[in-house]
Chain A
Amino acid sequence: MAQSKVLEVAVGLFVIAGIAALATLALKISNLHSIGPSRGYDVKAYFNDIGGLKSEAPVTMAGVRIGHVASIYFDKKRYQAVTVLHIQAKYNTIPVDTSASILTQGLLGEQYVSLSPGGSTQYLKNGSKITMTQSAMVLEQVIGQFLFHKAAEGEQQQPQSPGAPGLPAAPATP
């Protein structure tokens, strides 16, 4: 009898450990905390180009996470991307003339939405719209512009040079 008690205790511990691991996966390792009807409010921000922004990306202000991107869709009348930003309830004093921009963490990191406060005394509330936005910086476009610029410079210096100058290697190469 004593031995079967040990067995049952062991199985009990095992099941508890497994369920605890599942809970850890759900609560600590994944972003379950941002799922479901959490307290907070949604504002919409319109962007011309969101680049690689995905839902669940962080929304920050002065570098501090204050919410996340709840959803992204295309507005077919304005031909713009609409991002629904879910802001935590405690940050309820964000001015209405706040601007939003899509930035990248590091050169190749995740993209996120950064809010820069305006000076209004009226605050954003559920359903408000942010229209002052700066679209994502798309790396290809930046590199393209850079190359175009360089090429233009080169042509000015060496008008007889055939075509574009030798392309610089990938910018990420150390």
Chain B
Amino acid sequence: MNQIQRLGRATIDTLERLGRATLFLLRVLRATRTLTGRFRLVVQQVYSVGVMTLVIVLVSGLFVGFVLGLQGYNTLVRYGAESSLGLLVALSLTRELGPVVTALLFAGRAGSALAAEIGLMKTTEQLAGMEMMAVDPMERIVAPRFVAGVIAMPLLAAIFSVVGVFGGYLVGVGLMGVDGGLFWSQMRSGVGIYNDVLGGVVKSVVFGVIVTWIAVFEGYDAQPTAEGVGRATTRTVVTSSLAVLGLDFIMTALMMRGL
């Protein structure tokens, strides 16, 4: 097989996969309708995707805040603008780092776990067994996980941002001696509710959909072998990280244009 043929084959395979994933998303969305009245299923999954990711989000948020405080201070102090540290930290977090870093952590922690769990259920015939018990795995397994991911992601991103701002405050005000009042007042005058906070929330919702979608699809689509599950897990993290970063660029560009 020559190079061109191989390239063509790879393109067709990618397109086929994308199409399958899209159809799968439609099926998931249709299955979410059956969740009304069975909200307990979603609550359980919010626990496993949200609460379990909380610790890593809290710790990472705090440290990202620390680093922003340090780096921001060192840069701003050259221009005598260290009073804008609060603004810098808060803008970086609400607009970019909050949604993006949380989505990456979410993909690594919750996304991989989701893909592995569903893949393993497929491998051990649990999904097939469910089908034979007249229970649709899309409704019982996939849809609650998807909804839980979409709910958890913006909450996690918001927590990340707030903890990060707090971390920046600790370093900037506590360690570097920036005036606390200026830190907050600059931040509050500079951070807009629509462009910055709401934009960040929109981003995190989109990332939640993307990461959870990729995770449940990869799990459901995995080869029913141990190796297949491993591959699905890896692919979930890689694909969703790339998708998050790419989409972040597109969404940022769109939002900037809208200003």
Q: Do chains A and B touch in the complex (CB under 8 A)?
A: yes
Q: Which residues from chain A sit less than 8 Å from chain B, CB to CB?
A: 7-8, 10-11, 14-15, 17-19, 21-22, 24-26, 28-33, 35, 56-58, 65, 68, 105-110, 172, 174
Can you give 12 contacting A-B residue pairs, CB < 8 Å? A11-B43, A11-B46, A11-B50, A17-B54, A18-B155, A21-B155, A25-B94, A30-B94, A57-B189, A109-B83, A110-B189, A110-B190
**B249 contacts partner chain A, Cβ-Cβ < 8 Å:** no
Contact B193 A31 (CB under 8 A): yes
**Complex CA distance for A56 and B201, rounded to whole angstroms:** 21
Contacts of B44 in A (CB 8 A): 7
Q: Are A28 and B188 in contact (CB under 8 A)?
A: yes
Beyond A25-B94, A29-B162, A109-B84, whether A56 also contacts B189 by CB under 8 A is yes
Query: Could you tell me the distance in whole angstroms from the C-beta of A45 to the nearest C-beta in chain B?
Result: 18
CA distance A19 to B50 in the complex (A): 13
Chain B residues with a Cβ under 8 A of chain A: 43-44, 46-47, 50-51, 54, 78-81, 83-84, 90, 94, 151-152, 154-156, 158-159, 161-163, 165, 184-193, 196-197, 200-201
Q: Are B158 and A18 in contact (CB under 8 A)?
A: yes
Task: Determine if A26 and B50 form an interchain contact, defined as CB atoms under 8 angstroms apart.
Answer: no
Q: Are A21 and B192 in contact (CB under 8 A)?
A: no
A172 to B78 alpha-carbon distance, docked (Å): 9
B165 contacts A29, C-beta separation under 8 Å: yes
Asked if residues A14 and B192 are in contact (CB atoms below 8 Å), the reply is no
Which residue of the partner chain, among B78, B154, B197, contacts A30 with CB atoms under 8 Å? Answer: B197
B189 touches A107 (CB 8 A): no
A108 and B162 within 8 A (CB): no
> Given that A26-B197, A30-B197 are known contacts, is A14 also in contact with B81, CB under 8 Å in the complex?
no
Q: Which residues of B contact A65 (CB under 8 A)?
A: 185
